[in-house]
Amino acid sequence: MSLSRSTPEAQGVSAAALLDFIKDADQKIDGMHAFMLVRHGHVVAEGWWAPYSAESPHSLFSLSKSFTSTAIGLAIAEGKLSLDDEVLKFFPEDAPETLADNLKAMRLRDLLCMSSGQHAEDIEKFDFYSDESLTKAFLSLPVAHKPGTHFAYNTPGTYMLSAIVQKITGQKMVDYLRPGIFAPLEIDPQWAESKQGVSLGGFGLAIRTEGIAKFGQLYLQKGVWNGKQLIPAAWVEAATARQTSNGSSPLSDWDQGYGYQFWRCRHGCYRGDGAFGQYCIVMPELDAVVAINAGTRDMGSVMNLVWDKLLPALQSSALPADDACDARLKMALAGLTAPLPQGRATSPLAGKLSGRTFTIAANDQRIDAVALEVGEAKDTLSLRIGRTTHRITVGHNAWEKGRTFLATDLGNRQVAAGEQPVAASGAWTSDTAYTAHICFYESPITLAADLHFDGNRVTINIEPQVAFGPTTNPTLTGEAR
* Of 135, 137, 136, 141, residue with least CA distance to 100: 141
Long-range contacts of 239-242 (CB under 8 A, 24+ apart): 239/66, 239/69, 239/70, 239/73, 239/112, 240/264, 240/270, 240/282
Query: Given this model, what pLDDT does residue 166 score?
Result: 98
Return the amino acid letter for 283.
M
Instruction: Specify the amino acid at residue 275.
Output: A
Cα Rg, the chain, nearest whole Å = 24
Contact 232, 73 (CB under 8 A): yes
Predicted local confidence at residue 411, as pLDDT: 55
Q: Check the CA dihedral 405-182-69-274 and report its sign.
A: positive
Residue 53 CA to residue 158 CA, distance in Å, equals 29
| Predicted pLDDT of residue 146 | 97
For residues 327 and 312, what is the distance between their CA atoms, to the nearest angstrom? 21
Q: Using CB atoms within 10 A of its CB, is residue 166 exposed (0-12), middle (13-18) or buried (19+)?
A: buried
Q: How high is the pLDDT of residue 1?
A: 67
- Answer whether 0.75 is exceeded by the pTM: yes
Beta pairing class for 388-396 and 420-428: parallel
Exposed, middle or buried, 328 (CB in 10 Å: 0-12/13-18/19+)? middle
Please give the backbone phi and psi of residue 280, each rounded to the nearest 5 degrees, phi first. Answer: -125, 100
Which positions of the chain have pLDDT values less than 50? 413-416
Residues 6+ apart with CB under 8 A from 336: 22, 26, 32, 47, 48, 49, 50
